[in-house]
Amino acid sequence: MPENQTPRSIIVVGGGVIGVSSAVHLLRSGAEVTLVTERELASGASGRSLSWLNSAGARSPEYHALRMTGIDRYRTLFTEDPSHEWLQFGGGVYWDHDGGAAAVARHEHERSHGYDSRLVDPTTIADFTSGLHSEALAPTSVFNPGEGWVSLPHLIEHLMGEFARRGGVLTTNTGRVEVVVEDGRAVGVEAPSIGMLRADAVVVACGAHTPDVLAQLGVRIENGSPVSMLVVTEPLEHDVKAVLNTPRAAIRPNPGRTIAIDHDWYEEHIVRDAAGEYSIPEPVVDELLAEAARLIDGTPQLKAGSWKIGLKPIPGDGEPVFGELQKVPGCYAAFTHSGATLALIAGELIADEVTTGRRHPMLATFRPERFEV
């Protein structure tokens, strides 16, 4: 592609929410977009994410600003149609195992930069949210009323409707995708089932596998992605509205009257076989369900409808990785832990950079080259 010419054809690699969001925003800009994914849409981390929309706790000011802008885009989507069962703002509840000291420290930090944060206890939690078993709460917890959750498979389905209407081309089950470089510039991708596809630019948004794809181009991105699991229960009657982040279980409501459950204490029980597939003993899943049930009013017996295990995308330093590769012009990286919170804004800003050629100031500290230092 000649210098200073706006790219018109773009290939997005990755069928998770960051890839789909980027593809849709590129289509909105008038580009021709092909979305390719190794397997099916939402078959990776987007299909097993707690997808808590938040900027709670401590992080860099730039990361906090980006997350808050990400939440703003979800509020816009929610306002357009509040009836979406898969996107809700019911707040978030947090406590740690120390009885309240961590909650107080977190609350003070959040209040210092204007993040809406309330201290609650078992006697006052019902004033803020419903459906929780008050006796299971810590003496002091944090309630953040501005937080919410999204079911990423449902969001991807929603975005893909627009993708199709705008003429995007979807290719699934391609096998492993590699970026093709000619004369030092990305000119397309190739994969076993599709051969080579040419384009003016390539966006790599493969979740935890993004560093592997970029490593083939001589670009180093530290990868701190752990193995994690999401359990979704069978349907039950409950009145849980908030996302809960607690010492033994993290839970949120989920479409279809189900509950989504996550944590990290069980990671040591996950095993990987010779074929690369992950599994976990069913009694460990039952233990996680029991921990989650303790948090819900009435302590219902929770039954697993499904559980999925795989890598949770996290860059080595915890901060997002966004932007064009200096070593390989025309190739853009999108790799972040907070894929749910950042999905809409990340797609918007990546598309803006690809189509205008201008670096967005909100992404200044998240450039891929920081790992080369």
Tokens of 267: 């990671």
- Residue 95, SS3 per DSSP: coil
In a domain, 3, yes or no: no
Q: Which domain holds residue 285?
A: 88-148+226-311
Whether residues 231 and 294 share a domain: the answer is: yes
Whether residues 327 and 233 share a domain: the answer is: no
List CB contacts of 184: < 8 A, sequence separation 6 or more: 328, 329
Whether residues 157 and 144 share a domain: the answer is: no
Residue 127, Cβ neighbours under 10 Å: how many?
9
Whether residues 230 and 302 share a domain: the answer is: yes
Whether residues 180 and 286 share a domain: the answer is: no
What CATH number did the domain enclosing 97 receive? 3.30.9.10
User: Where among 258, 285, 311 does a domain terminate?
Assistant: 311
Q: Which of 2, 11, 5 minimizes the C-alpha distance to 199? A: 11
Reported as a single tens digit per residue, the pLDDT across 15-55 is 999 999 999 999 999 999 999 999 999 999 999 999 999 99
Predicted confidence at residue 4, as pLDDT, reads 53
Domain count within the chain: 2
Whether residues 210 and 233 share a domain: the answer is: no
Whether residues 219 and 241 share a domain: the answer is: no
As a whole number of angstroms, the distance between CA 110 and CA 56 comes to 7
User: Where among 311, 330, 349 does a domain terminate?
Assistant: 311
Whether residues 329 and 292 share a domain: the answer is: no
Q: Which of 319, 328, 329, 312 minimizes the C-alpha distance to 367? A: 319
For every one of its 373 residues, what pLDDT tens digit does the chain have, with 9 covering 90 and above? 545 566 699 999 999 999 999 999 999 999 999 999 999 999 999 999 999 999 999 999 999 999 999 999 999 999 999 999 999 999 999 999 888 899 999 999 999 999 999 999 999 999 999 999 999 999 999 999 999 999 999 999 999 999 999 999 999 999 999 999 999 999 999 998 999 999 999 999 999 999 999 999 999 999 999 999 999 999 999 999 999 999 999 999 999 999 999 999 999 999 999 999 999 999 999 999 999 999 999 999 999 999 999 999 999 999 999 999 999 999 999 999 999 999 999 999 999 999 999 999 999 999 999 998 6
In a domain, 264, yes or no: yes
Which class for 148: exposed (0-12), middle (13-18), buried (19 or more C-beta within 10 A)? buried
In a domain, 73, yes or no: no
List CB contacts of 70: < 8 A, sequence separation 6 or more: 53, 338, 341, 342, 343, 344, 345, 346
Tokens of 97: 């195992």
Whether residues 105 and 174 share a domain: the answer is: no
What CATH number did the domain enclosing 321 receive? 3.50.50.60
Whether residues 164 and 298 share a domain: the answer is: no
Whether residues 231 and 364 share a domain: the answer is: no
Q: Which of 148, 98, 100 minimizes the C-alpha distance to 120? A: 100
Whether residues 166 and 281 share a domain: the answer is: no
As a whole number of angstroms, the distance between CA 343 and CA 341 comes to 6
Residue 371 is which amino acid? F
